[in-house]
């Protein structure tokens, strides 16, 4: 079931709510939308989980205001959704930029409504290099590869970006589908969210995360270097790193079976931790 939640600045955020049971909130990567988790939505409700997919402002079916694409603003949008849906003891799943927003939410809003966190190919602790941070892409390269081409030829940018997304060449048809999701984003939302990826720094946020956390990372990732996952794990006390040896950035496509298995393992442990019975499994 789809619905809209109106947030503080009169922007409407689209939310897809599927199934019943323990809530699992999905935050998509740049510049896709909630549908990138289609192959989790088709499985988890059978296992007693309620899947809540959110389109960030500027992406998918959500409104696309001209301004306000900071991680603070997107974390506030997430809080508005959690408050509106009265969500408690949920798992928060953040992929790539979604992982960055999830981390900001956990620090900025003290993890309200969230009992467990999963960061996947996460753009944390910092996506671009700084004088005191030598990992991943430079700000200049991000401008040249993502922002300037979006002003000039967004379809070409998306096509070239998509080439880095998976490691498995046989997944090319899946990437065509994913690219179609990225076309649904607004042009200015794509640019301004990329500017946030370029400029934001989450090193101060990670130390405030105090819920059980798992980190999924493709070892062939060409977008978020695997070293970022190691640094993220070091920054979040008690977190666990799951490596996907044969995956690029999008391990949910490269190693779909392992991804779903590890995600269910994490969620089932959450259910035990919270002493929360899942909705009855349904073999649909």
Count of C-beta atoms within a 10 Å radius of residue 273 = 13
Q: 117: which 2 tokens?
A: 């966190």
- Cα(55)–Cα(34) distance, integer angstroms: 5
- Cα(121)–Cα(118) distance, integer angstroms: 10
- Cα(163)–Cα(175) distance, integer angstroms: 8
Q: Please spell the DSSP secondary structure of 249-263, one letter per residue.
A: S-HHHHTHHHHHHHH
Three-state SS at 238 = coil
Q: 60: which 2 tokens?
A: 């998918």
Which amino acids are annotated catalytic?
96, 221, 249
Nearest to 255 by CA among 160, 163, 159, 167: 167
- Cα(220)–Cα(112) distance, integer angstroms: 34
Output the CA torsion 262→232→70→86 (10° steps).
50
Element (H, E) at 159: helix 154-162
């Amino acid at each position: 079931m789809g619905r809209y939640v109106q947030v503080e600045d009169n922007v409407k955020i689209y939310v897809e709510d599927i199934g019943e049971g323990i809530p699992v909130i999905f935050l998509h990567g740049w510049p896709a939308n909630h549908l990138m988790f289609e192959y989790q939505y088709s499985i988890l409700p059978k296992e007693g989980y309620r899947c809540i997919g959110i389109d960030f402002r500027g992406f998918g079916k959500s409104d696309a205001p001209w301004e306000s694409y900071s991680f603070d603003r997107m974390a506030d949008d997430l809080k508005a959704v959690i408050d509106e849906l009265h969500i408690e003891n949920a798992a928060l799943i953040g992929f790539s930029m979604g992982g960055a927003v999830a981390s900001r939410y956990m620090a900025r809003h003290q993890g309200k409504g969230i009992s467990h966190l999963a960061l996947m190919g996460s753009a944390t602790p910092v996506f671009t290099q700084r004088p005191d941070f030598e990992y991943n892409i430079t700000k200049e390269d991000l401008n040249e590869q993502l922002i300037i081409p979006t002003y000039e030829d967004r379809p070409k940018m998306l096509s070239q970006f998509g080439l880095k997304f998976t490691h498995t060449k046989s997944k090319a048809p899946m990437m065509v589908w994913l690219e179609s999701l990225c076309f649904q984003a607004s042009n200015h939302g794509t640019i301004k969210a990329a500017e946030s990826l370029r400029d934001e720094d989450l090193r101060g946020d990670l130390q405030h995360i105090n819920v059980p956390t798992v980190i999924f990372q493709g070892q062939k990732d060409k977008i978020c270097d695997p070293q970022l996952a190691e640094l993220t794990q070091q920054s979040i006390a008690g977190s666990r790193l799951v490596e996907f040896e044969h995956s690029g950035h999008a391990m949910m496509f490269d190693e779909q079976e392992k991804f779903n298995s590890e995600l269910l393992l994490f969620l089932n442990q959450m259910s035990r931790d919270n002493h929360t019975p899942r909705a009855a499994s349904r073999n649909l």
